[in-house]
């Protein structure tokens, strides 16, 4: 069973920094790719994450974890890049996806070596997961294949 009730969701992220977030399920699995663009008074950054989603209660309440990379620029320290793990929970109601997460940044170059980031995101579900109807095909007449014989 899939971990979440959407395929694509886009919205805003607010926490240590502010920004935009896009979450896209890949390969019809429990995996998503999340892109985050963030800014604050003194820096801006971009992050790409691969996330694994697991159901807590149904497909609308999930926890997720993952890892990715980030890059950006700090006015005081200059450019930076590194590795970013993430862990969080999400709830999807109708077309609204609400997420809370912890996403520390471990810098391999520039800035301080670690930056702790947690945030609250609210996204609009652009593409919903199609519903599976158990009874829809239960009583459907199956078509038979006819072969021509010579």
Domains of the chain in sequence order: 6-128 (2.40.160.20)
Q: Which residues contact 124 (CB under 8 A, 6 or more apart)?
A: 9, 10, 11, 95, 96, 97
| H/E stretch holding 7 | strand 6-15
pLDDT of 135 reads: 55
At 82, is the secondary structure helix, strand, or coil?
A: strand
* pLDDT tens per residue, range 69-80: 999 999 988 999
Residue-wise pLDDT for 7-48, tens only, equals 999 999 999 899 999 999 998 788 999 999 999 999 999 999
* pTM of the predicted structure, to 2 decimals: 0.83
Q: What is the Cα–Cα distance from 92 to 95, expressed in whole angstroms?
A: 7
């Amino acid at each position: 069973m899939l971990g979440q009730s959407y395929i694509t969701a886009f919205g805003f992220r607010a926490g240590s920094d502010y920004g935009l977030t896009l979450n896209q399920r890949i390969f019809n699995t429990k995996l998503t790719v999340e892109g985050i663009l963030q800014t604050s008074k003194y820096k801006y950054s971009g992050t790409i994450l691969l996330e694994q989603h697991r159901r807590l209660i149904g497909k609308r309440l999930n926890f997720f974890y993952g890892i990715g990379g980030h890059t950006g620029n700090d006015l005081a320290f200059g450019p930076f890049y590194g590795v970013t793990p993430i862990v969080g929970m999400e709830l999807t109601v109708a077309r609204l996806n609400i997420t809370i997460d912890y996403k520390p940044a471990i810098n391999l170059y520039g800035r301080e070596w670690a930056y702790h980031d947690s945030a609250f995101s609210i996204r609009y579900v652009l593409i919903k997961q199609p519903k599976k109807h158990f009874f829809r095909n239960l009583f459907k007449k199956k078509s038979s294949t006819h072969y021509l014989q010579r």
